[in-house]
Structure 1
Amino acid sequence: MKTVNGNEIIQLFESWSPKKYACMPNDPIGLAIGTLNKPVSKVLVTLDVTHEVVEEAIAQGCELIIAHHPPIFMKLSNLRTDNPQGALYEKCLKNDIAVYAAHTNLDVAPGGVNDLLADALQLENRQILDYSYEEKMMKLAVFVPVAESNRMREALAKAGAGQIGNYEACSYTVVGEGRFRALEGANPTVGEVGELHVESEEKIEVVFPQSIKNKVLKAMLNAHSYEEPAYDLFVMDLSTNEQGLGRIGKLKEPMTLQDFAEFVKIQLNVPALRVVGPLDRTVQKIAVVGGDGNKYIKTAKFAGADVFVTGDIGFHMAQDAEVNGLSIVDPGHHVEKVMIKGVAEKMTALCADKKIPVTFIQSTIHTEPFKFI
């Protein structure tokens, strides 16, 4: 059977949930413990990394853990193994288990934590609640001999340039004349050293996201026959790949806040939750943010939400929301556990598509610290 390196698995994961999506300053994402440069056949997916979760990984024969909550959140001043947290890291290292954390980048990623929560709440016509990431668009204009224009367009399209919405290989061409005189030491493809040469050329223009600039330029240079290609490169006042935290959408049918709260309990599988607002109020437009959403209360209200579903709401924040007519349903922070099934299924599909033989195991350890009495 093919041996898979841990780096291959994480490269595939980051093609879906890249680190650049992280929206918290100094978010401790990425490899936290161990090494990815080793064979990996089994991966445990979990919300939190606890002693029980690591024991589960050992029992299942996993070489890698993918977690949502980073196991090392604050910088360490020491690494002592005679305290519970240090002993946890020691257990991972002694059993050669690497731990990789995907935190706010997984919150933001399409199909990540917030989309999974919106799926569970059956929100329709959903949009991003708070935009936090975008890529600037660029335009390349390159001048090529007419005979080479098709080859150049194909090379640029293969590199990803010319993708506009649901259309690919988009380009614009203008035919004209290029003039140049090759100096001593030059090795011109056309024309002679010391003589002014006129060449029938096409100007090919393509747009692309800034993140693939180097790839596009490399493809252009490789496809060009000139020793010194002439081209222009512009940063455009346009953006693409806009991403962000939280989702807002509508329920298929309006319901009372009381009924909606009961619906949330069932859909997110929680034993209890907190509710702010009149229980007989009719609601339909719902905003949701996984984890601690205190800082997004005003954003949810401004977006026109009837109810904001999020965790860890503080007392005074709840009062402010109530005064401003925004209802809140707080099912706790731990509802982010939806990522366990979501990540395992997504990565299983991605690996199957690439024929990477890795098994993703969903953790069954309950890591909710709160007990409801």
Structure 2
Amino acid sequence: MNQWISGRRLIQRFEEWAPKSLAYENDKIGLLIGTLDKKIKKVMVTLDVLENVADEAGEKQADLIIAHHPVIFHPLKNVRSDEGQGKIVTKCIKHDLAVYAAHTNLDIAEGGVNDMLAAQLGLTGTEILQPTVSEPLYKLAVYVPESHLEAVRDAIADAGAGFIGRYSHCTFAAAGEGTFLPEEGAHPFIGTPGKMERVAERKVETLVPEHLLQTVIEKMIKSHPYEEIAYDLFPLKNKGKTYGLGRIARLAEPIAFGDYCLQVKAKLGLEGLRAVGPLNEKVRTVAVSGGDGNSLIPFAKRRGADVLITGDLYYHTAHDALLSGLKVIDAGHHIESVMKKGVQRYLQRVIEEENCDTEVILSESVTNPFRFI
């Protein structure tokens, strides 16, 4: 093939999965360093962007880093090459690296960090722990000659339009007559310039979630035979898909909290973990959230969780959990590194669909600052 995907196209496809609209307000997501106006021969996926990661990306000749944690989270007063965050930023610029961060939007996305953690823990039948946003929906109506009805309908449905609950490819088509008069210089698919045309057409309607609008319209235009395409987009008040932080599920059988801690340690490959609560008491309903899960303590308790597995737990929040009767497992923030292989799989699928040679690699640099002694 010997062709490379553009940075903008790769990120457009990535944001079909983890759109920015899912992120928490003021989260530092998106392109943080460099430019996407270049071809991407190699993209490296990492949890954190530290000096060793920037050096590794430079040595491996990566063009783009996709990270979970933003390399610039708080405003920088300066960018010095000899201290602080400036050392990282300088190295990224030196190696001509673009750095893109997908943080809370990747946590919240379906199939994102929290779903990856739940899967690694063997949890099934998961539900959202804390709903945060319902995605806006649009109705797309496009007018198609009958000869191309199936081609256009299949193209927009395959691009993700037409989902209602557990049903895909949901569309409605109504017959009608389209009229048009090609002006001088036009190159009509049907008819000749200067002559009024009447064509048997179908008005095809379907639902499109906001984050897929651009992709669906691109596919519609590509599959449509007309030089100029008549279509309408209507914002709807219908409630779209609900997204949120954390996941909750029930184990097949109750298990002693101490024994479950050992299972979690093994399944997540941990050196150790912190446990809050009586080790002999049984647990069955499990909530999970990567990263800082302190704010999810009341949601986990309200939803009937026996235990919350999270990546960071504050001392006094642990007291609050004990008082409420909720057990907590602090597995360390680094458990979110599960995102590396998940993002790699998604990007490899995108590269295959785009028919490109771009390589997707995982950072091998150690970024976990903690060691168990």
Q: TM-score interval w.r.t. the shorter chain?
A: 0.7 to 0.9
What is aligned with 2:22?
21
- 1:123 and 1:252 in contact (8 A); partners too: no
Q: CA deviation at 1:372?
A: 1.9
What is aligned with 1:127?
127
User: In the aligned structure 2, how far is the partner of 1:365 from the partner of 1:223?
Assistant: 47
Q: CA deviation at 1:143?
A: 9.6
What is aligned with 1:195?
none
Q: Deviations over 1:25-47 (max 9, x none)?
A: 21111111112222322222111
User: In the aligned structure 2, how far is the partner of 1:219 from the partner of 1:95?
Assistant: 39
Residues 87, 143 of structure 1: CA spacing in aligned structure 2 closer, same or farther, 3 A cutoff? closer
- 2:4 and 2:39 in contact (8 A); partners too: yes
SS at match of 2:28: coil
Residues 18, 352 of structure 1: CA spacing in aligned structure 2 closer, same or farther, 3 A cutoff? same
User: In the aligned structure 1, how far is the partner of 2:38 from the partner of 2:357?
Assistant: 14
What is aligned with 1:372?
372
- The answer to whether structure 1 residue 77 and structure 2 residue 87 are counterparts is no
Superposition map of 1:27-46 within 5 A = 27-46=27-46
- The answer to whether structure 1 residue 241 and structure 2 residue 241 are counterparts is yes
- 2:3 and 2:358 in contact (8 A); partners too: no
SS at match of 1:284: strand
Q: CA deviation at 1:291?
A: 0.3
What is aligned with 1:137?
137
What is aligned with 1:182?
none
What is aligned with 1:290?
290
Query: What is the TM-score of this pair, normalised by structure 1?
Result: 0.81
- 2:19 and 2:211 in contact (8 A); partners too: no
Query: What is the TM-score of this pair, normalised by structure 2?
Result: 0.81
Q: CA deviation at 1:2?
A: 2.2
Q: Which residue identity is paired with 2:319?
A: Q
SS at match of 2:135: strand
- The answer to whether structure 1 residue 9 and structure 2 residue 10 are counterparts is yes
User: In the aligned structure 2, how far is the partner of 1:54 from the partner of 1:232?
Assistant: 46
User: In the aligned structure 1, how far is the partner of 2:235 from the partner of 2:153?
Assistant: 17
- 1:157 and 1:169 in contact (8 A); partners too: no
What is aligned with 2:191?
none
What is aligned with 2:169?
168
What is aligned with 1:331?
331
User: In the aligned structure 1, how far is the partner of 2:211 from the partner of 2:241?
Assistant: 10
Greater Cα shift, 157-166 or 304-313: 157-166
- 1:156 and 1:216 in contact (8 A); partners too: no
- Aligned pairs, how many? 352
Q: Deviations over 1:32-88 (max 9, x none)?
A: 111222232222211111111112212222222111111111122222223132122
- 2:153 and 2:171 in contact (8 A); partners too: no
Q: Which residue identity is paired with 1:123?
A: L
Q: CA deviation at 1:360?
A: 1.8
Q: CA deviation at 1:167?
A: 3.4
Residues 142, 188 of structure 1: CA spacing in aligned structure 2 closer, same or farther, 3 A cutoff? farther
User: In the aligned structure 1, how far is the partner of 2:340 from the partner of 2:218?
Assistant: 39
Aligned residues: CA RMSD: 3.5
What is aligned with 1:359?
359
- The answer to whether structure 1 residue 106 and structure 2 residue 101 are counterparts is no
Q: CA deviation at 1:172?
A: 6.2
Residues 14, 232 of structure 1: CA spacing in aligned structure 2 closer, same or farther, 3 A cutoff? closer
- The answer to whether structure 1 residue 89 and structure 2 residue 89 are counterparts is yes
SS at match of 1:91: helix
Residues 279, 137 of structure 1: CA spacing in aligned structure 2 closer, same or farther, 3 A cutoff? same
Q: Which residue identity is paired with 1:72?
A: I
What is aligned with 1:183?
none
SS at match of 1:86: helix
Task: Give the share of equivalent positions with the same residue, in percent.
Answer: 43
Bigger-Rg structure (1/2): 1
Q: CA deviation at 1:352?
A: 2.4
Q: Deviations over 1:286-327 (max 9, x none)?
A: 110100010111111111111100122112211111111111
SS at match of 1:49: coil
What is aligned with 1:184?
none
User: In the aligned structure 2, how far is the partner of 1:218 from the partner of 1:41?
Assistant: 25
SS at match of 1:15: helix
- 1:153 and 1:171 in contact (8 A); partners too: no
User: In the aligned structure 1, how far is the partner of 2:111 from the partner of 2:126?
Assistant: 12
User: In the aligned structure 1, how far is the partner of 2:36 from the partner of 2:217?
Assistant: 29
Residues 301, 172 of structure 1: CA spacing in aligned structure 2 closer, same or farther, 3 A cutoff? farther
Q: CA deviation at 1:217?
A: 12
Unaligned runs of at least 5 residues, structure 1: 178-186, 192-199
- 2:155 and 2:219 in contact (8 A); partners too: no
- 1:287 and 1:305 in contact (8 A); partners too: yes
Unaligned runs of at least 5 residues, structure 2: 178-193
What is aligned with 1:261?
261
